[in-house]
Structure 1
Amino acid sequence: MTLDYLRVACTLLAVSCIAPAHAQSADDAVALVRKAKGYLKSQGVEKACKDFADVAAGFQKGELYVSVLDMREAGHLKFVCNPKNARMNGKDVIELKDSDGKPFNKEIAELSKTKGQGWVNYRWVNPVSGNMEAKTSYFEAQDGLVLLAGIYKK
């Protein structure tokens, strides 16, 4: 019986030590967007998007990844590249709502146009856990594009 308790305690200790290493912070999201923004400017959209989808290129870390959206056409916000869901590429998501009915992409588009950057909160499926979770994303506009990276709130 004591051995069972010891196993449980060791397992809980191991999990608690490992879990924080995978958690991403707001600073991580900002740093990734800024890194991606410079890379996109120097390499161009096609190469940048290819590399954003390549885990080895350094633009993905656990749940954190960078996506690019195009807001150059008035009233539209289209995915240029989404490394975790390539089926979204080319789709207009301006009207897309989260699981609570929040039109978060409209907020992203508006803040990108008026302030050039910002944060937005919404609920989205975590690609690592597969669960619907609260997420906050940081974004910056560049030449009519929006670069975005989000963290899941634990």
Structure 2
Amino acid sequence: MKRFFILIILSAIFSLLNAAEKGTAPEAEKMVKDAFTFIEKNGRETAFREFTTNRNIFHQKDLFIFIVDFKGVILAQGGNPALLGKNMLDSKDPDGRLFIREMIELASQKNTGWIDYKWENPATGKIEKKSSFVMKYKNEDFLIGCGIYP
């Protein structure tokens, strides 16, 4: 019986620690806005490299920046650099949503907003709901994004 309670307590502690490492919607929005400013100050090349390769202010908790051009090509990807240069325009989530197309449509028409889709959570290895905040960069043909697992 004692072991059972210890396991429950350890499980609760682990869950709380894991939850503390999840980014929030306001943190994701702030990170995208900070990335926007960083691009303005440092230029595309430096910023995209920074978003992809360095563990810094653009990699907090489980949050990271991604950049997608309006043709669907990944220009920066802090969570999975192997996606750099890949065209993801026709990528579908498990429900068949063309989520990259939806991000591009939202950013090009409304400049900013949230998109919901399903994606594998690297922390759990399971397909989960993901919400990404995206923002068009000025009059350029790319968007800045950051996603959360709510």
Q: Assess same fold via TM > 0.5.
A: yes
Q: 2:143 aligns with which of 137, 142, 146?
A: 146
**Percent same amino acid at aligned positions?**
26
Please give the per-residue CA displacement for 1:111-149, whole angstroms capped at 9, x wherever unaligned. Answer: 111110111110111122222111000000012220000
CA root-mean-square deviation: 1.6
Please give the per-residue CA displacement for 1:72-93, whole angstroms capped at 9, x wherever unaligned. xxxx221101122222212222
Q: 1:122 to 1:46 in 2, by over 3 A?
A: same
Asked whether 1:137 is paired with 2:132, we answer: yes
Distance 2:4 2:100 in 1: 48
Q: How many residues of Structure 1 are paired with residues of Structure 2 in the alignment?
A: 148
SS of the counterpart of 1:57? coil
Q: In 2 relative to 1, CA 5–82 (structure 1 residues): closer, same or farther, beyond 3 Å?
A: same
Please give the TM-score of this superposition, normalised by the length of structure 2: 0.89
CA deviations on 1:84-116 (whole Å, 9 max, x unpaired) are 222221222221111111111111111111110
Question: Counterpart amino acid of 2:142?
Answer: L
Question: Structure 2: where are the runs of 5+ without partners?
Answer: none
Write out aligned runs for 1:4-153 (5 A).
4-71=3-70, 76-142=71-137, 143-153=140-150
Mean alpha-carbon deviation: is it higher for 8-17 or for 93-102?
Answer: 8-17
What letter is aligned with 1:78?
A: V
Code of the residue aligned with 1:112 in structure 2: it is A
Q: Residue 16 and residue 47 in structure 1: after superposition, are their counterparts in 2 closer, same or farther (change >3 A)? A: same
Query: AA paired with 2:68?
Result: L
> Structure 1: which 5+ residue stretches go unaligned?
none
Report how far residue 28 of structure 1 moved: 1.0
How far apart are residue 55 of structure 1 and its match?
4.7
Distance 2:18 2:145 in 1: 24
Q: Aligned AA for 2:100?
A: N
